Amino acid sequence: MSSIDPTKRSPDGRPVRDTRWRARWRDLDGQHRSKCFDRKIDAQRHLDTVGTDMVRGEYTDPALRRARFDQWAETWWKLNADRFRASTRSTSRRILDAYVIPRFGPRRVGDIDRADVKAWAVEQLEAGAAPRTVRNRVAIVKSILDEAIEGRAIRDNPAQGLRLPRGQVEEPTFLTATQIEALADAIAPPYGFLVRFTAYTGLRPAEVAGLRLRRLDLLTRRVEVIETLTTVAGKVVPGPTKTFARRTVALPAFLVDDATRYLGALTSHSGSAISPDGYVFRSPTGGPLNTDNWRRRVMIPALGRSSLPLGVRFYDLRHSAAALMIAAGAHPRLVMERLGHADISTTMNVYGHAWPTLHEQVTDRLDELREDALRSPWAPAPATVISHTRRRSA
């Protein structure tokens, strides 16, 4: 139900000359709304637009449009914070408080346009922030504005599809099987097993740190990947896997033998059996494994002793596992499942370049199959050419 009424009337009820016109309507929640215009025709156009937007599902609430950005930011945070892993939650909150709120907090959410968001991104790039960092910050602004769209405060998201430089992608380092053994041998016990375990299972560093003994089944040669330990602000925090999904990874036989020796040494060192809920890999002091400290204090010195590049990261052991699987002829789908990627595109984007050699092998194999077929005793005889020349009559 909508109407247009004058704001001023004469004693006989007729609109006066200098009156303004108030457009009235009910929103989708049944609430009465109004807006004043200098001309009646403008009020009518506004009502027409409101009606069309309601039919199309594009209606926005003027009151919510005037709400401050920081109010929508807190709403977004309350609805989504618990969905984040501990490390993501910490990083997102820091970005929100240090970069997003200071710039957009006091602004009305409906007044923020594409030029505002783009100018903010450019300023950060010029200040020396990495492109990937800026993209992450813009992504948070976009998520908050998506919340405003869902709440019918705005119609379009000014941060949607913003073109930003991607920056240089950090190339993964792939260690060969020989290099993995060299690194494992250069690390003092018991961490040689940790290197081999990561490099032949492909678990993420946080998944390795969060592996509990009851998830390691040496009889069936399986490891269940369910939990993680992530370093947040210097503290080790438990949480789910990156994709919030569990998976099972098969263990090579040699890792089962290594695990048996490793667990036996741990039991002997501690003087008691490890609890099923105890972590398989621990810090040198016996507490939960801080992967950042482990790389700095244990892995980097071992890289130097084994003459490997000091820039090799803990995560590169996972990359190396992918490379070893590909070299063994694994299908991309299998690599995706073992690494725990959410979809095959992630696997191909990171490791797709490692498969061309397999394409060459398949092509060569097709040649061999063709040659085998021609040498087979069941190979068909050469086709006989039938002449269609008309015979002469006698």
C-beta contacts of 268-274 below 8 A and 24+ residues apart: 274/213
Q: What is the pLDDT of residue 35?
A: 80
In this prediction, residues 38-44 reach a mean pLDDT of: 84
Residue indicated by tokens 């609890």: 275
Q: What is the pLDDT of residues 257-307, one digit of tens each?
A: 999 999 998 888 777 778 899 999 998 888 899 998 999 999 999 999 999
Mean pLDDT highest for which of 44-53, 116-125, 371-380? 116-125
Using CA atoms, how far apart are residues 219 and 146, in angstroms rounded to an integer? 49
Q: What is the pLDDT of residues 160-203, one digit of tens each?
A: 888 887 766 667 889 999 999 999 999 988 899 999 999 999 99
Q: Which of 36, 320, 362, 72 has the alpha carbon at shortest distance from 205? A: 320
Taking all residues of the chain, what is their mean pLDDT, rounded to a whole number?
A: 85
Asked if residue 393 has pLDDT above 50, the reply is no
Asked if residue 10 has pLDDT above 50, the reply is yes
Three-state secondary structure call for residue 231: strand
Using CA atoms, how far apart are residues 299 and 316, in angstroms rounded to an integer? 12
Q: What is the pLDDT of residue 25?
A: 75
Domains of the chain as residue ranges with CATH: 3-59 (no CATH), 69-150 (1.10.150), 177-353 (1.10.443.10)
Q: Provide DSSP, 97-133.
A: IIIIHHHHTTSBGGG--HHHHHHHHHHHHHTT--HHH
Q: Provide DSSP, 242-295.
A: TTS--EEEE--HHHHHHHHHHHHHHHHHHTSPPPTTSBSSB-TTSSB--HHHHI
Q: What is the pLDDT of residues 304-362, one digit of tens each?
A: 999 999 999 999 999 999 999 988 888 889 999 999 998 898 888 888 777 766 667 77
Asked if residue 251 has pLDDT above 50, the reply is yes
Q: What is the pLDDT of residue 383?
A: 54
Q: What is the pLDDT of residue 394?
A: 40
Using CA atoms, how far apart are residues 392 and 86, in angstroms rounded to an integer? 94
